[in-house]
Amino acid sequence: MKRLSLVLVALALLLAGCKVDTTVTIEVKDDGSGTVTVAAHLDAAAVHAVEIQGKKIADSVRLDDLKNAGWKIEPWTTADDGSATLTLSKAFTSPDQVAGILGEVSGTNGPLRDVTASRDRGLLATNYSVKGAVDLGAIATGVTTDPGLVFSLSNAQVDVNAIDASLLQQLKDALSVTVVVNTPGGTTTVTGVPGQRVAVDASSSVRDTRRIVLILGAIVLLVLAVVVWFGGRQSRYRQRARGPIPRFDPHGRRG
């Protein structure tokens, strides 16, 4: 499957000085389901580079593989300044699916590393967590790992390592990545730093008010039951204590 990261690499490398700002939003709902949304914003220079051969940006950037994988791809939107934004999203039913979904867009060479999500429902609260990293220091173009591309470049007498190093530098200058995590307990935003690994650690805890009320109600009922039981026992004891004391009759007959 072609990764979105490879598409972003291609866009970012078209012209030096272009900017591709990517925002990845992970939204986790109360029940653990949610949506991963990726928004890639290309500045006017990047859009011009993509359309330099006369093709519109929508025709130049093909994402059929992601669409076939269940991603919802919105039409490109353009702004008055010539920039354009691509938005795509994919829903999940469990936090365990988040890692695989992000792997579909980031791949092994992309900036998102080891991102996982979890939901742990405890006795009194539900804990949500999204952890991982935005690593703009470990991103790669993927040129040297593509045997077909390496073969073609080598046959054309192109120095693969040199062109990979040049493209990688342009990629690092062009690409920015921000991760936004929305959970029922709050929002965490992490912005990648060029050449560095920045941790993503979004954790929140939401108290289960309904369960707390039920537990408190059960405790109150238990306490009342204990009070009633002891109260009834003490009442019976007092009644026996107030009863007449049997008299001893010395003249009574024996059986």
Q: How confident is the model at residue 84 (pLDDT cuts 50, 70, 90)?
A: very high
Q: How confident is the model at residue 45 (pLDDT cuts 50, 70, 90)?
A: confident
Residue 187, strand partner residues: 182
Residue 2 has a pLDDT of: 41
Burial of residue 141 (number of CB atoms within 10 Å: 0-12, 13-18, 19+): buried
Q: Structure pTM?
A: 0.71
Q: How confident is the model at residue 56 (pLDDT cuts 50, 70, 90)?
A: confident
Q: Distances from the Cα of 75 to the Cαs of 32, 42, 95, 129, in angstroms?
A: 28, 14, 27, 32
SS3 assignment, position 221: helix
Is 251 or 134 the better-scoring residue by pLDDT? 134
Q: What is the pLDDT of residues 164-210, one digit of tens each?
A: 676 667 777 778 899 999 999 889 999 999 889 999 999 988 876 66
Average pLDDT over residues 23-52: 90
* Amino acid letter, 75: P
Q: How confident is the model at residue 50 (pLDDT cuts 50, 70, 90)?
A: confident
Q: Report the C-alpha gap between 45 and 104 in whole angstroms.
A: 27
Average pLDDT over residues 129-156: 77
